[in-house]
Structure 1
Amino acid sequence: MDVLQAIILAIIEGITEFLPVSSTGHMIIASSFFGIAQDDFTKLFTIVIQLGTILSVIVLYFKRFFQSLDFYFKLFVAFIPAVIFGLLLGDFIDSLLENPITVAISLIIGGFLLLKVDEWFGNSEGTEISYLTAFKIGLFQCLAMIPGVSRSGASIVGGMTQKLSRTTAAEFSFFLAIPTMLGATLKKSYDYYKDGFVLSDDQINLLIIGNVVGFIVALIAIKSFIGFLTKHGFKIFGYYRIVAGVAILLIHFFVQKLTII
């Protein structure tokens, strides 16, 4: 991986992490296009740079993190399903991460669902999140373990099925990203450390660049997404996912630039 590739991947991460379009899916496709998807450092890079996007949530919603202990307990309850399923299905999830076809199919199916989300749940105006609601949102978030599903999309839709407003569901999804992504980063880093993977100075510099770029881009993306979602809903993201998924399938089967197995 070179500096330009690191910056491009970080920009993709910053833009897509909090949009319902699947950051993991986009990172897999981009790294596959660069021909570095199977590189161990690339796999670590795509996880570790999530720390920058986590920091963007903390900066934007700094005051909200001092609400009450109840707020943290609800985040913990929502985080529990990801811990359980992540530990149980870790190897299976890793195998899915190497297949662009999985990403494409997930993008298309998720796209059709997003076209109907506003019709099904768009009139909800709830703002209070109970412990049961938090747990159910956490279960929805687990769907994002399938590449292409979108962690933010799954958790936002999960919140809306519990009669939360778009804004409330989206903001809780942002908060839930912090323990989820931090946990994934720590686990993946420990796995690489346990296997004896040692970072070079150049690789450490790439991680720093990736986190800084991801942080800046995510700040802009979050602010823009909340405003757009409140006014326009999910349809544009549904159409985008369908087009992107079909394009990936066409490229994979006819150009074969995305074959990484």
Structure 2
Amino acid sequence: MNFFEAIIIAIIEGLTEYLPISSTAHMGFTAALMGLPESEFLKMFQVSIQFGAILSIVVLYWKKFFDLKNFNIGFYIKLACAVLPALVLGKLLDDKIEAVLGNQIAISSMLVFGGIILLFVDKWFKNPKINDEKDISIKTAVTIGFWQCLAMMPGTSRSAASIIGGMTQGLSRKAAAEFSFFLAVPTMLAVTVYSVFVKTWGETTANPMKGYEMIFQDQEHIILFLIGNVVAFIVALIAVKSFISVLTKYGFKFWGWYRIIIGIVLLVYFSYNPTETQNENNKVSIETTTQQ
């Protein structure tokens, strides 16, 4: 992976991380279309650049996270409770989900299926009762956390699952989207820390390494890591602001049609390129599926 390819993947991460269209699927498809060979560093890179996307939410909503004058312990308790289902189930289902991550046909199919669901979401939940995070109970937060676990199926989208989960609990589109953003911070931070500092990559190879060992393996990897996170941060800042505006005005139909069209195009492409589909795994560990 060269610098240009790293920037392209980081742009895709920043654009799609908080949109209901599956960032993992888009990064995997992008890597496949660019013909990038499978490597442990590539898989780890796709996880680690989440850190930049995480920072974008912290910066945009810094008062929620760091307003010491109006410190709200309940906010942190709700996030802690909501993230637990993904952490527990993610660990338990690690091997089963990782077996699907290299199957581009399955992921493309999930894009289409999820898109169909998004076409009807606005009709199903017309009368929201909760318009602010402060009115979300711990029980509701945990329920949204379980909805987020649906994103463990690659191609589902963590953002879509948690936003729809919020709307089933009476949250408005804006409130559900914002709580999904907040929930992404502990979820993705845990994933990034695990993938960079705890997980051993390439355990079946002759040279297994921790994520940070791969990053500091040479100067090029360090630069790729830094560039990836900076680009993901900048692009995510723009994407989040745009998404809230579009979602509030137009709802989910746009994103539903986008998923359906992209999913069908990719289904056709990978169906006629079976060898490339099989060779291009770009498998990210199960922890990545929680950022979808």
What TM-score does the superposition give when structure 1 sets the normalisation length?
Answer: 0.96
Which residue number in structure 2 is paired with residue 240 of structure 1? 258
1:46 aligns with 2:59: no
1:196-233: per-residue Cα shift (whole Å, max 9, x none)? 25322211110100000000000000001101100000
Q: Which SS does the other structure have where 1:96 is aligned?
A: coil
**1:139-218 alignment, distance < 5 Å:** 139-189=146-196, 190-192=198-200, 195-197=208-210, 198-199=213-214, 200-218=218-236
Which residue number in structure 2 is paired with residue 119 of structure 1? 123
Match of 2:85 among 67, 81, 84: 81
Q: Which has the higher helix share?
A: 1
* CA distance in 1: counterparts of 2:236 and 2:126, whole angstroms: 25
Inter-CA distance 218–122: structure 2 relative to 1 (3 Å threshold): farther
Identity of aligned residues (%): 49
Inter-CA distance 167–103: structure 2 relative to 1 (3 Å threshold): same
Which residue number in structure 1 is paired with residue 286 of structure 2? none
Match of 1:106 among 107, 110, 113: 110
Which residue number in structure 1 is paired with residue 59 of structure 2? 59
Q: List runs of 5+ in structure 2 lacking aligned partners.
A: 282-292
* CA distance in 1: counterparts of 2:220 and 2:127, whole angstroms: 50
**1:242-257 alignment, distance < 5 Å:** 242-256=260-274, 257=276
**Structure 1 contact 78–176 (Cα < 8 Å) conserved:** yes
- How much has 1:255 moved relative to structure 2? 3.8
What is the letter of the counterpart of residue 86 of structure 2? A
More deviation, 95-104/142-151: 95-104
1:115-168: per-residue Cα shift (whole Å, max 9, x none)? 000000143141321011000100010111111100011000000000000111
- How much has 1:97 moved relative to structure 2? 1.6
* CA distance in 2: counterparts of 1:56 and 1:122, whole angstroms: 30
**Structure 2 contact 125–168 (Cα < 8 Å) conserved:** yes
Q: List runs of 5+ in structure 1 lacking aligned partners.
A: none
Number of aligned residue pairs: give it: 261
Q: Name segments (4+ residues, structure 1) moved above 4 Å.
A: none
**Structure 1 contact 54–181 (Cα < 8 Å) conserved:** yes
Q: Which SS does the other structure have where 1:147 is aligned?
A: coil
Match of 2:99 among 95, 100, 107: 95
- How much has 1:96 moved relative to structure 2? 1.7
- How much has 1:192 moved relative to structure 2? 3.0
**Structure 2 contact 105–271 (Cα < 8 Å) conserved:** no
What is the letter of the counterpart of residue 233 of structure 1? G
Inter-CA distance 37–25: structure 2 relative to 1 (3 Å threshold): farther
What is the letter of the counterpart of residue 3 of structure 2? V
What is the letter of the counterpart of residue 227 of structure 1? S
**Structure 1 contact 29–258 (Cα < 8 Å) conserved:** no
Which residue number in structure 1 is paired with residue 74 of structure 2? 70
Q: Which SS does the other structure have where 2:170 is aligned?
A: coil
- How much has 1:98 moved relative to structure 2? 1.2
What TM-score does the superposition give when structure 2 sets the normalisation length?
Answer: 0.86
